[in-house]
Amino acid sequence: MADSTTAASVENFSAPMTGGLTFELAGRPAKYTVLYFYPKDNTPGCTTESIAFREAFPEFQALNTEIYGISRDSLRSHEGFKGKLGLPFELISDPEEAVCSQFGVMKMKNMYGKQVRGIERSTFIIDAQGRLVKEWRGVKVNDHVTEVLEFLKSQP
């Protein structure tokens, strides 16, 4: 798994999310914002990853960190997925791939022997000043949320 640490500014963006809300990166009140990009609602890996973020949600809150999941699914799909899993955080809908493109997560992948274009499972941490402070690409679900928490706990 590749990961890197940077301090590049992230261009502001807004996108629709569950709960009838709009996500706006600029002016986030939290110390940190975790954006986790996942391929598709209601698939095994994405369900497992979302549950792991849900289970660790109180720890993220204690670190003044907000979590948002992002995929190309519709708001309707997101609302169902969020409700089914009891997610305590919002999901961002990006069917036009604007946010996915900004973060460079669209990749060609092998699925059942065919090349398909989809989201590479990736997580980004953005600080309150809008700087990208950590990224993980090609994420493997097992222990990933623990890695994200450990990174946040190591921050001043």
Catalytic residues: 46
Which residue spans within 20-119 are E strands per DSSP? 21-24, 32-37, 65-71, 91-93, 106-111, 114-119
**Alpha carbon 84 to its chain's center:** 18
Whether 68 and 92 have beta carbons less than 8 Å apart is answered as yes
Residue reference for tokens 């549950």: 51
Q: How many CB atoms lie within 10 A of CB 58?
A: 10
